[in-house]
Chain A
Amino acid sequence: MKTYWVLVGSFGSGKSELALNLALEKAKEGPCTLVDLDVINPYFRTSERGDVLEPAGVELIMPPFALDKIEIMSLSAKVFSAFSPGEGNVIFDIGGDDVGSIALGQYKARFDQIPPDRLNVLFIVNPMRPTAADFDSAMDTLAKIQYVSRLNVTGIVNNANLSVETDVSHLAEGYALMKQLSEATGIPVWGTCGKEDVLHSFKLYVKEHGLDPTYVGRYQPIEVMMHRSWDKFLKEGL
């Protein structure tokens, strides 16, 4: 039986990066399908990384428009094949905000047939984004996403980051928000994401400051794949 991962969240919260990393990780265990259901963003899409996914054995289902760079927001009928019986993992990368999550609504009948222990709906949060900066806006987005996607979020994810300038203080800020959100909603914290080095520093920080592991969840290393090679020039004044 397949295990399903649906990644939702605010626009720019880091769903695509997590989707790519999760797909490559799961592909090592067995069959893995990544469904690009982003109907919002024509730039920086998971579909662009077919070059990495396919050699790793990830089956990529993408909308017919994705690589043509045109704006016909239609979804491929092939998406239904992800719900067919089988083994392995299926990861859905969804567009940002409630607008993006609308794409999920039409698959409700299929999602309803998946046993609860096989369906993970993860709400990704990056408090460094201006539109998701605080508890109220995160709660608001969460409610709207659940409403339009017709799915219940099963885990929240701390993906606090400032791109190349991320440090442990950002993850600590994310932790505080995770705790607040989890306490208010009863939804468990699934995990904390970050590049290896930042994640390592955060592990030490958690011990040192006696943070509650319940609100840290699993440590999910992220290898950044959507960036361009010249991003590193930020520090030189560009």
Chain B
Amino acid sequence: MAKKLMKGCEAIAEAAIQAGCRYFFGYPITPQNDIPEYMSRRLPQVGGCFLQAESELAAINMVYGAGGAGARAMTSSSSPGISLKQEGISTCAAAEVPCVIVNMMRGGPGLGNIQASQGDYFQACKGGGHGDYRCVVYAPSSIQETCDLMPKAFDTADTYRTPVIILADGLIGQMMEPVELKMNDNPTMPEKPWACQGWDPKGDRPRAVINSLYIETEILDDLMTRLNARYDMIREKEVMVEKYKTEGAQFVLCAYGTVARVCKAAVRILDEKGIKCGLVRPITLWPFPTKDVHDVIAQDSVKGALTVEISNGQMVEDIRLAVNGEKPVDFMGKGGSIIPTAEEIADRVMEIMRRA
């Protein structure tokens, strides 16, 4: 398909449809409203179902139902709405129901504001709901990348029977960029023999049961062992990271999402001033690219690193764990949806370099 000028939210919705998503359940909240709006128009055209639920909780429970029946199902919301969905996400993880959840992050805590934020990193990567589970978390940095990640997100969800989160800041949802969508009228779907699609009493297949209640300790432990083995496989196979001019860098910036783009602009400014600076950008926030981050920052040439976020410092903890004290890691960021400019980031890097 020829390139189109698309808003992030529209592109995510269309890319999900192209990936075979036919069921969307949602509830309005800014800055993600364009996703349900687009889905409400498009899904009926492709024989799918859009439903505006009575609440966020109802929406994620509908996703649980559709996913449990083997369909590719999705919901989207923004920070406060994602908090409301956490019980359902935990249930999906326990019942091994594949699904995709989009979070267009806005400023928090509480109702916060409606501008872009990255304050939900902890929520997405370190639990969110109760219990001992993980979600795969993708953090796109452009609208094209978001489109490209959608089929990947659905495939990962199906392969590992796990909830997958697209964690984007509100700007990714609201800005427009040229994108090329891979149109696919007939996406291939994996077989899902575990799905609840009706039972034949004369057939060989046992009843499919979707459940998250495991009263007996041994049976719950079986589930946890199975999930853990899967999480290990995800850690091994699914890590995605971009390294930008990191080879032999004197300094390394760490950022994801929109901020990574501002950081690239900062790298260019620093380059003009003769400072060799690189950027390491996790694309999967879980599994976290621990080894890549370590190997980039621990290079002999590197004097230090700076993590930049639209938050008061969340991913920086994983960066520091990865670096394990081998190099100093500074943090720059603000709550209140204030995005630092490329010049501010470059100034901060120069200040740190002077100190070192």
Contacts and interface: CB of A to CB of B under 8 A. Distances in A.
B300 interface: no
Contact of B5 (A12, A233, A238): A12
A12 B7 contact: yes
Contacts of A164: 178
Interface in A153-205: 161-165
Nearest to B242: A237
B75 interface: no
Interface in B87-145: 113-115, 141-142, 145
B5 A69 contact: no
A238 B4 CA distance: 16
A69 B7 contact: no
B211 interface: no
B114 A71 contact: yes
Contacts of A236: 264
Given A69-B113, A133-B4, A233-B261, A12 B176 contact: yes
A129 interface: yes
A43 interface: yes
A12 B174 CA distance: 11
A43 B170 contact: yes
Contacts of B4: 128-130, 133, 162
Contacts of B7: 11-12
B177 interface: yes
Interface residues of B, number: 30
B312 interface: no
B3 A230 contact: no
A234 B177 contact: yes
Given A44-B174, A71-B30, A129 B6 contact: yes
A130 B10 contact: yes
A234 B179 CA distance: 10
Contacts of B170: 43
Nearest to B3: A162
A42 interface: yes
A70 B31 CA distance: 11
B115 A230 contact: no
B260 interface: yes
Nearest to B176: A12
Given A12-B7, A130-B10, A230-B342, A42 B30 contact: yes
Tell me if A's interface is mostly helix, strand, loop or mixed: loop
Which size class do A's interface residues fall under?
20 to 34
Contacts of A11: 7
A129 B265 contact: no
Contacts of B175: 43-44, 228
Contacts of A130: 4, 6, 10, 14
A228 B340 CA distance: 12
Interface string A1-32: 00000000001100000000000000000000
A42 B142 contact: no
A84 B167 CA distance: 48
A47 interface: no
Contacts of B223: none
B324 interface: no
B5 A128 contact: yes
A176 to B, nearest CB: 14
A113 interface: no
Contacts of B114: 42, 69-71
Interface string B137-178: 000011001000000000000000000000000110011111
B341 interface: yes
Nearest to B107: A69
Contacts of B3: 128, 162, 165
B308 to A, nearest CB: 13
B240 interface: no
Contact of A163 (B174, B178, B242): B178
A229 interface: yes
A126 interface: yes
A233 B265 contact: yes
Q: Name, among A126, A130, A232, the residue most crowded by chain B CB atoms within 10 Å (CB to CB).
A: A130
Nearest to A165: B178
B264 A238 contact: yes
A161 B264 contact: no
Given A12-B5, A130-B10, A162-B5, A230 B31 contact: no
Given A69-B115, A163-B177, A234-B177, A129 B5 contact: yes
A162 B3 CA distance: 8
Contacts of B113: 69-70
Q: Name, among B6, B30, B115, B178, the residue most crowded by chain A CB atoms within 10 Å (CB to CB).
A: B178
25 contacts: A43-B31, A43-B174, A44-B174, A44-B175, A69-B115, A70-B114, A71-B30, A129-B4, A130-B4, A130-B6, A130-B10, A131-B10, A162-B3, A162-B4, A163-B5, A165-B3, A165-B178, A229-B341, A230-B262, A230-B342, A232-B265, A234-B177, A238-B260, A238-B261, A238-B264
Interface of A: 11-12, 41-44, 69-71, 126, 128-131, 133, 161-165, 228-234, 236-238
Given A43-B170, A161-B5, A238-B141, 16 more contacts: A12-B5, A41-B174, A44-B174, A70-B114, A128-B3, A129-B4, A129-B5, A162-B3, A162-B5, A163-B5, A230-B261, A230-B262, A232-B265, A233-B261, A236-B264, A238-B142
